């Protein structure tokens, strides 16, 4: 399966993950991730039909609590740590009107 | 100045009785850090002012006839992925450099309430991804037993801080062995509790279905003391187990007479250094001598643990680390549009290994590959849980090496990520199952570096696990005893 991991796969994944990779990084990651996926072949090649997946070690159910108002974190303290703030809100560069 | 004892239990007793002041204890430890941490680099930040204030508060309580708590005046180091209000918390990543969290992690609140003196934030592999602390953006931590070698990771700073005597206690986090492996490599005790026993509120997330916080110490009893202080239900972590905290200190003297302990066949052969395997067999003999029944047990699916882990953990990480986008906290690299700003920030802020894991996880979750990789890994997780269930039908505890080798040299495994990942082969299965496990120092390898043996228990089996750990501690050969 990992023999099929190509430089183009890695470039696409980098784009999805919002990472800009250099040519050299693309090459290196293609090789390194390929080696990890080769090792993962032992899992990928298992016949596991009928085995249910385990996403989590605890038998989780919805955790509910009484609807009581409690103090949250301080808004000014949170905003003081943001890279850019305007009118007590997080400020970001243009979103609307971007090229897709 | 009076002589400062080396264990947390002794320090807390002396501070509570007024024999020693928390200030004296702190000064002694700060002096050691000052003299030696330039070389070891266990700390990203030493919280001198905050620690002095905390020690003064403990001393004032004692003077007023109040009890500061079970950790009275004990210096404690915090892995730098635990949030501390107003104090920089970096995960050893450029992307969080300078960030000051607006709240304390639950474990930080609990140790402070128990009288501990938080002394600093310790170095780690960036976002806890690594097994050597070489992935820190702030330079590696060195192993106090031999500074040409790694301390293990990812909690390498917390392990080294305890091994170097900078603090008798520290906290780390363990996603695939990040407490137990550095504990083994530095020759200290390290515990990964049952998933859900310790609140993760304020632990910066890596892989949420695996992450767990736990203690480091020089003695088994000190880890019991610290785990009792941090365990217990917390409404702010929905995975927190709502059950009474087992009494661990009380169980320590109970011995192992009649306990059934299984040596895991799959983790004693290929890939395990012969000197490490020999120490594990010697540990089994020590348990036998103390009255335990030792047998061999097979956990076949453990062989697939590594592959399953390196699909599941990166998948969860790729999702958890999506939050570092330059908007709400930490670094921002400006760009004309938000999408470009997100990418420029993440590209500049994350190190090589973090990028590699995000890429791996994104790939494993992407359309067309999900079923073959992530889906299969989740099913293997079920097989591992089932195999452990079978093993625990016949045995109370399992025994394995903690790490396949002793501490390796800097740079030995950095060029080949897979060789680094193989360090976690003995520790990963318990994380996938959500069970507790701990590493106990048990003599040295043929290179004279510490060997850790690992005890595994079923969920919430900590009391039994600590009983056996105490027996192993008492029977452990000295580190400098000639290996035979």
Which 151-190 residues of chain B touch chain A by CB within 8 A?
Answer: none
Cβ–Cβ of B381/A53 closer than 8 Å? yes
Instruction: Give pLDDT, residue A3.
Output: 56
Contact criterion met (CB < 8 Å) for A93 and B337: yes
| A13 vs B: CB within 8 A | yes
Q: In terms of Cα–Cα distance, which of B288, B126, B355 is closest to A28?
A: B355
Predicted local confidence at residue B78, as pLDDT: 98
Taking one residue from A and the other from B, the number of pairs with CB-CB distance under 8 angstroms is 170
Q: How confident is the model at residue B309 (pLDDT cuts 50, 70, 90)?
A: very high
Cβ(B333)–Cβ(A72) under 8 Å? Answer: no
Distance, in angstroms, between A22 CA and closest chain B CA? 10
| pTM check: above 0.95 | yes
Taking contacts as CB-CB distances below 8 angstroms, the residues of chain B near A55 are 209, 378
Q: Which residues in A lie closer than 8 A to residue B102 (C-beta atoms)?
A: 73-74, 77-78, 81
Compute the distance between CA of residue B214 and CA of residue B114 in angstroms, rounded to an integer: 16
Asked if residues B438 and B455 have their Cβ atoms less than 8 Å apart, the reply is yes
Of A32, A51, A65, the CB nearest to B417: A32
d(CA B145, CA B156): 13
Interface check A70 vs B, CB under 8 A: no
Tally: H helices and E strands in chain B: 15, 11
CA-CA distance, B264 to B397, in Å (whole number)?
10
pLDDT tens digits for B53-99? 999 999 999 999 999 999 999 999 999 999 999 999 999 999 998 89
pLDDT value for A68: 93
H-helix or E-strand spanning residue B417 = helix B417-421
Measure in Å the smallest separation between the Cα of A93 and chain B Cα atoms. Answer: 5
Catalytic residue among B79, B121, B192, B413: B79
Is the pLDDT at B333 greater than 60? The verdict is: yes
Task: Work out the pLDDT band at A99, boundaries 50, 70, 90.
Answer: low
Query: Please, which residues have CB within 8 angstroms of residue B205's CB and are 6 or more apart in sequence?
Result: B211, B320
pLDDT at B343 over 70: yes
Residue from B118, B132, B136, B154 carrying the catalytic annotation: B154
Predicted pLDDT of residue B32 = 98
* pLDDT tier at B335, thresholds 50, 70, 90: very high
Q: What is the pLDDT of residues B10-61, one digit of tens each?
A: 999 999 999 999 999 999 999 999 999 999 999 999 999 999 999 999 999 9
Distance between start and end Cα atoms, chain B? 42
Q: How confident is the model at residue B483 (pLDDT cuts 50, 70, 90)?
A: low
Nearest-Cα distance to chain B for A29, in Å, is 7
Confidence of residue B484 (pLDDT cuts 50, 70, 90): low
> How confident is the model over B316-324, as a mean pLDDT?
97
Strands B189-192 and B437-444: antiparallel
Please give the mean pLDDT across all residues of chain A.
Answer: 89
CB distance B239–A46 less than 8 Å? Answer: no
Flag whether residue B332 sits within 8 Å of chain A, measured between CB atoms: yes
B421/A36 CB distance under 8 A? yes
Helix or strand or coil: residue B5? coil
Mean pLDDT of B276-284: 97
Q: What percent of chain B has pLDDT over 90?
A: 94
User: Across the interface, do A20 and B99 touch by the CB < 8 Å criterion?
Assistant: no
Q: What pLDDT score does B151 carry?
A: 98
What is the distance in angstroms between the Cα of B276 and the nearest Cα belonging to chain A? 24
Query: Contact at 8 Å (CB) between B401 and B452?
Result: yes
Answer whether B131's CB lies under 8 Å from B424's CB.
yes
Whether residue B482 is predicted with pLDDT greater than 90 in this model: the reply is no
Q: How confident is the model at residue A94 (pLDDT cuts 50, 70, 90)?
A: confident
Give catalytic status of residue B199 as yes or no.
no
A42 C-beta neighbours (distance < 10 Å), count: 15
CB contact B370 to A (< 8 Å):
no
Instruction: Please report the pLDDT score of residue B379 as a whole number.
Output: 96
Please determine, for residue B254, whether its predicted confidence score (pLDDT) is greater than 80.
yes
Contact criterion met (CB below 8 Å) for B455 and B399? yes
Q: What percent of the residues of chain A are helix, what percent strand, and what percent coil, each to the nearest 5?
A: 40, 5, 55
* pLDDT tens column, B95-124: 998 899 999 999 999 999 999 999 999 999
Average pLDDT, chain B: 96
pLDDT value of position A2: 45
- CB-CB under 8 Å, B363 with A13: yes
* pLDDT tier for residue A98 given thresholds of 50, 70 and 90: low
Domains annotated for chain B, with CATH where assigned, are 8-233 (3.90.1300.10)
| Nearest CB neighbour to A94, from listed B241, B338, B373 | B338
Question: Which of the two residues, B242 and B203, has the higher pLDDT score?
Answer: B203
CB contact (8 A) between residue B102 and residue A77: yes
**Chain B closest-CA separation from residue A49 CA (Å):** 9
Contact residues on chain A for B209, CB-CB shorter than 8 A: 55-57
Determine the average pLDDT of the residues in B370-399.
96
Q: Residue B320: which residues within 8 A CB-CB, separation 6 or more? A: B205, B206, B207, B208
User: Mind giving me the DSSP string for B35-78?
Assistant: HHHHHH--EEEE-HHHHHHHHHHHHHHHHTT----TTTT-EEEE
Is the CB of residue A79 less than 8 Å away from at least one CB of chain B?
no
Beta strand residue intervals within B272-393, DSSP E? 293-297
Q: What residue in A sits closest to B332 (Cα-Cα)? A: A83
Residue of chain B whose alpha carbon sits nearest to that of A38: B307
ipTM of the predicted structure? Answer: 0.93
Of B474 and A44, more confident: B474
The residues pairing with B198 across neighbouring beta strands, listed in sequence order, are B231
Distance CA A10, CA B289 (A): 55
Residue pLDDT, tens place only, A14-58: 999 999 999 999 999 999 999 999 989 889 888 999 999 998 888
At the topology level of CATH, where does A1-45 sit?
Histone, subunit A (1.10.20)
Given a cut of 70, whether residue B397 has pLDDT beyond it is yes
Residue B178 annotated as catalytic: yes
Task: Give me the residue spans of the domains in chain A.
Answer: 1-45
């Amino acid at each position: 399966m990992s023999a099929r991991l190509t430089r183009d796969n890695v470039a696409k994944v980098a784009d999805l993950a919002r990472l800009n990779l250099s040519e050299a990084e693309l090459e290196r990651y293609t090789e390194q991730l390929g080696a990890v996926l080769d090792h993962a072949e032992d899992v990928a090649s298992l016949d596991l039909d009928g085995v249910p997946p385990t996403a989590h070690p605890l038998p989780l159910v919805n955790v509910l609590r009484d609807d009581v108002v409690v103090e949250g974190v301080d808004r000014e303290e949170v905003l003081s740590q943001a890279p850019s703030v305007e009118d007590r809100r997080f400020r970001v560069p243009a979103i609307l009107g971007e090229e897709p | 100045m009076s002589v400062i004892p080396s264990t947390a239990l002794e320090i807390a007793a002396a501070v509570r009785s007024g024999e020693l002041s928390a200030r004296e204890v702190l000064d002694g430890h700060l002096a050691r850090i000052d003299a030696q941490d330039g070389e070891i680099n266990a700390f990203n930040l030493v919280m001198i002012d905050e620690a002095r204030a905390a020690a003064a508060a403990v001393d004032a309580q004692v003077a007023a006839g109040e009890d500061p708590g079970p950790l009275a005046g004990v210096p404690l180091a915090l892995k730098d992925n635990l949030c501390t209000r107003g104090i920089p918390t970096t995960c050893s990543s450029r992307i969080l450099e300078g960030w000051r969290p607006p709240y304390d992690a639950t474990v930080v609140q609990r140790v402070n309430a128990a009288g501990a003196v938080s002394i600093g934030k310790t170095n780690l592999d960036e976002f806890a991804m690594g097994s050597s602390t070489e992935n820190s953006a702030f330079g590696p931590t060195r192993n106090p037993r031999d500074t040409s070698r790694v301390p293990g990771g990812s909690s390498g700073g917390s392990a080294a801080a305890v091994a170097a005597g900078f603090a008798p206690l520290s906290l780390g986090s363990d996603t695939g062995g990040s407490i137990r492996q550095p504990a083994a490599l530095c020759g200290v005790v390290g515990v990964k509790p049952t998933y859900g026993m310790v609140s993760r509120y304020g632990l910066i997330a890596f892989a949420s279905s695996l992450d767990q916080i736990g203690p480091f110490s020089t003695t088994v009893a000190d880890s019991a003391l610290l785990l009792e202080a941090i365990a217990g239900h917390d409404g702010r972590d929905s995975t927190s187990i709502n059950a009474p905290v087992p009494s661990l200190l009380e169980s320590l003297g109970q011995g192992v007479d009649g306990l059934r302990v299984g040596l895991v066949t799959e983790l004693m052969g290929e890939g395990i250094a012969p000197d490490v395997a020999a120490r594990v067999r010697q540990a089994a003999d020590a348990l036998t001598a103390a009255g335990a029944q030792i047998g061999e047990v097979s956990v076949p699916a453990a062989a697939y643990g590594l592959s399953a882990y390196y699909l599941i953990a990166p998948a969860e990480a790729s999702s958890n680390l999506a939050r570092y986008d330059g908007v709400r906290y930490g670094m921002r690299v400006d760009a004309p549009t938000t999408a470009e700003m997100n990418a420029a920030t993440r590209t500049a802020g994350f190190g090589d290994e973090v990028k590699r894991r995000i890429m791996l996880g994104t790939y494993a979750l992407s359309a067309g590959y999900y079923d073959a990789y992530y889906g299969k890994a989740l099913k293997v997780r079920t097989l591992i849980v089932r195999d452990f269930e079978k093993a625990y039908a016949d045995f109370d505890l399992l025994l394995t090496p903690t790490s396949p080798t002793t501490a390796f040299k800097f740079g030995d495994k950095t060029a080949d990520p897979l060789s680094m990942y193989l360090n976690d082969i003995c520790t990963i299965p318990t994380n996938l199952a959500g069970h507790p496990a701990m590493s106990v120092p048990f003599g040295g390898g043929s290179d004279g570096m510490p060997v850790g043996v690992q005890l595994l228990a079923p969920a919430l089996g900590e009391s039994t696990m600590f009983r056996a750990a105490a027996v192993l501690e008492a029977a452990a050969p000295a580190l400098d005893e000639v290996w035979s």
